[in-house]
Amino acid sequence: METKAISPSAVTTTAHLPQLHLPRNEGMELDLDWVASVQANTSAIERRAATLPGRRSVKKEYQAAWLLKAISLIDLTTLSGDDTEGRVNRLCAKARQPVAPALLSKLGMSGLTVGAVCVYHDMVPAALRALEGTNIPVAAVSTGFPAGLSPYHLRIQEIRESVAAGAKEIDIVISRRHVLTQNWQALYDEMREMREACGDAHVKAILATGELGTLRNVARASLICMMAGADFIKTSTGKEPINATLPVSLTMIRAIRDYETRTGFKIGYKPAGGISKAKDSLVYLSMMKDELGNRWLQPDLFRFGASSLLGDIERQLEHYVTGAYSAQWRHAMG
């Protein structure tokens, strides 16, 4: 079977190339009139989302290129109570070399890495050591992840300690009660203080959308977090019963589009939880391209919060090269 090599220019493999640097979101004063004007037509959003899987179909070398792109956007993650330094070392080795060198060579590619490695605070030093010499940033979940119900001063201190330990990105969880009670001032103040605690580290605000009740709440919470200075907005912790969905994603990325139109700042988006199949990543990539444009197909503005996704993408790439699917055990995380 003849395999057509993928053009390296089709895939950005380094998360922080100089030409990709953007002005960081400075936030703005809380605008409650703007927040109150935000609505979400649930039936229309769901109808639009239902059409997305069938609207774009990429095949052969084009599909392979998109899947390589998806790998460069993955936040490779381990967030388990039984995490060990050995597990983190294996995960980081996978982050540095996410696809077997022989397979990459047949695709005409080299230098491919994931977007980041995401761990609990205690594992930040181990991840930094394992990723030394690369441009792969370490992200730490913080603020009482996943529930976000630890004492507030401890949540702020946890952010500071993760930044001091060397994390370049902080994934924080918002207090869902502020959204459910429509206490937008409290949500804004909380997010603002968390942003300040992050310093130079970029902050991803996890909305836990499966616990917010309505798409209107999702839209308004997205806007508040961006007003308060979030660099990314993220769907879920991955621990809720309902995580990333297409209707939620469509709601959040349209909030990102509105915020950019109003302020000029580009905000990143991270769907997390439940994205485990290569075909799902293609749907999300096409949605980002359609709704926000090609600029949002780079790792400084889009990430997948997933690890099992990588294994399925590897299998699809091997099928492209060999014409046969390999066993899943051949594509372990480490």
d(CA 6, CA 105): 10
Q: Residue 253 in contact with residue 291, Cβ under 8 Å?
A: yes
Band of residue 5 on the pLDDT scale cut at 50, 70, 90: low
Residue 329 CB coordination number (10 Å): 7
Judged on CB neighbours under 10 Å (0-12, 13-18, 19+), 179 is buried
Residue 57 pLDDT: 72
Q: How are strands ordered across the β-sheet holding 232-234?
A: 268-270, 232-234, 202-206, 169-173, 138-141, 116-119, 74-77, 304-305
d(CA 266, CA 263): 9
**DSSP H or E segment with residue 268:** strand 268-270
Tokens encoding 44: 């229309």
Q: Residue 107 in contact with residue 64, Cβ under 8 Å?
A: yes
- The catalytic residues are 171, 234, 270
Residue 147 pLDDT: 94
pLDDT tens digits for range 171-193: 999 999 999 999 999 999 999 99
Q: Is the pLDDT of residue 155 over 60?
A: yes
Residue 2 CB coordination number (10 Å): 3
Tokens encoding 89: 């070392």
Band of residue 297 on the pLDDT scale cut at 50, 70, 90: very high
Tokens encoding 181: 């009670």
Q: What is the pTM of this model?
A: 0.92
pLDDT tens digits for range 200-246: 999 999 999 999 999 999 999 999 999 999 999 999 998 888 899 99
Q: How far is residue 248 from each of residues 41, 48, 237, 262, measured CA to CA in Å?
A: 12, 12, 14, 21
Judged on CB neighbours under 10 Å (0-12, 13-18, 19+), 11 is buried
Residue 126 CB coordination number (10 Å): 20
Structural domains in the chain plus CATH codes = 33-331 (3.20.20.70)
